[in-house]
Every structure is written in structure tokens, then in C-alpha cells.
A and B are shown apart, each in its own frame.
Chain A
Amino acid sequence: MSPGDLPDWAAWLVSALALAGAGISLVGAVGLIRLKTFYERVHAPTLGATLGMAMILAASIVYFSAADGRPVLRDLLIGLFLTVTTPITLILLGRAAAYRDRSDGNANAPPDP
């Protein structure tokens, strides 16, 4: 089945989900510019890593399921592995920033836990 043979309802649903997911990720990217401190900025991209990612994956699942005529759920694995590995990057970034701020003696360095 080629993309052109996708039923109308599926094409609309896939477009809506993909655009909504991309829009949410864009808001996260805008946050990288708009928020002021490092710790604030780290929050922004998590929009794209959670809801944005989920909607784009949902679009992909609907597309391939409609095109193949059977449920194609392998994209769920992308969501699972992204969710499980994101904390590693973010905790590493947070710890590195905290270490630098404390050793520099910054006034807004994080307190001890």
C-alpha cells in the first residue's frame, strides 16, 4: 500500500498528531531561548521528550497500522527507551552544572541536598 492509498480519516489523524507533536517540541525549543538560567532552560526540551515525542510516535503508529492493515506497535519501543534513558542525560547535566556553580562559589548555586 502506498501513502496515497491511506484512508482520509487516517491521513487527517496522522497529520494532526504529527503537527501537534512538532508544535509542542517547538514550544520546548523556544523555551531554550526564552528562559533565563541554565536550570530553567533544562526544563524546556522535556516537552519534546515527553508529550511531543508521544504524539509524533502516535502519528507513526497510526500511519503504519493503516498502511499495513494491522496494528504496528514497534514504535512503542522508541517511546519506552527514550523515556528510560532521558533521566541519564538530564541528571548528568544537572550534576555538572551544580558542581561548576558550587566550585565557582556562585551566589545562585544549588544548596546541598
Chain B
Amino acid sequence: MSLLLVERLTRSFGGVRAVQDLSFAIPEGGIHSIIGPNGAGKTTLFNMISGVLRPTRGTIRFRGENIAGLPPERLAARGISRTFQNLQIFFNMSVLENVLLGGHLGLDRNVWRALFRLPRLRAAERRARAEAEALLERVGLAEWSDAPADSLPYGALKRLEIARALAARPELLLLDEPAAGCNEKETREIETLLKSLVADGMTIVLVEHDMRLVMNVSDHIIVLDHGRMLAEGRAEEVRENPAVIEAYLGQAAVAGGHAP
């Protein structure tokens, strides 16, 4: 059974269809990339899978259950986490607190134990802190742990969002352009991180414009154009698909070789 099964998914804004009649399946495990030119509907698709946007039509099945239209907090509880293309860091908290919030659903959320800071809460908080530190270590932000989030450079914030999403221990991780605005070195670090996550059995859906990263890490690529599926397959298959070259890579060539 597929982990995620999208069927005839459509979302319109006014008269414009950002995503139309889109169907695809994501099996468990591996990195699945969604690519396509700007305006292809990638972020709209992400927003629907993560509950931020309600689909106009269609179903999204996660482990067989239709989750289309459920609010994001319910999807988080079911094991779907995401990052944002335009950073959504909690800038009024420390780096560690951001990660702790990512694990919110696994924490002790009883009001009375919080008000009186009872031992059970303190113990749970200590464990959560240790786990959050470990996650920061994993994304390479260990030394920033106590710094206010707004003191971090851009590339580090990107990784902080990944750590925050991981703190929820998701089964499905949606990453919206994790390498955007990152330099070579940072992009390579993200690549290593993604591979190590998949090695641990996680399923990742990636939206990314950096084609080298996409081609290096993807087990499976879905190409969108104008809200529809243009092509699907392994990296080399997609790369050689004439329709993709026409609609996508051709456009990049026109744009002066700049990664679209």
C-alpha cells in the first residue's frame, strides 16, 4: 500500500486552477521530488497535503485514510510534518525552543502540571530537551542551541526548520525548497542530512529548484506543469523525457541556464 495516495486532486483560486486532476502515489520510504517551473502548483500541492489549504476536489489518502481537508494540527498528529519555502521560524524563541515546539504533540500538555511545574512535567521536559539537543546536533546546530532564533544566519534557519519538523517524529516529511538561498556547502550538508534520514526509514517529499540536489537524492520524481502531471519516474527517466525538456529544461535554457 502506498503511504500517500493522491487522487484527482484539484484546487482553484477564483477561476485559476493551481492544481488540476492530479493523481500520484508515494510508496513508503525514499525521497520523492516534485519539480516543475514556477507556478506549476508545487507549493499549492504541499499546502493541501499538509492541511494548510483545503482541496477544491479530490482525495488525499494517508495510510489508506482520506485526509483531504483536515486541519494541519490533525495531520501533524497523524505523522505529517513540513517545512516552509518562506521561513516560518518562531523568532520569539530560542533555537532549542523551536525544536521543542516541533515535538509539541509528544510533550506533557497538562495545564495543571505546567502551572505547578510538577515533577512529572519536569522529567518529561528534561527528556525532550535531550532529544531536541540531539536533533540540533544532527542538523549541525548544536552550538546554537540557546541562541535566540532571530540571531541565526539564513542557511542555519533552513536547517532549524528541518530539525523542528523532525522533532514531531513524522512518518512523512514534506520539505519545501530546503536548499533555496543556501550556498554550495550548505546544500551539500542538506543532501547528506536527507540521505541519512532516508537511511533511517523516513519518507520524504521534496520540492526543490536546485536540480543537482534533486537528481542526486531522488528515488522518484514527479514533474508538474500548470497544475497537471507532466511526467513521473526515476531521475534518469525524467531527465530524458522530451516533454520535460520541452516544458521545463527548455525554459531554463531560455532563461540563460539559470536553474529554474
Q: Do A and B come from one complex?
A: no
Please list the residues of chain A having a beta carbon within 8 angstroms of any beta carbon in chain B: none
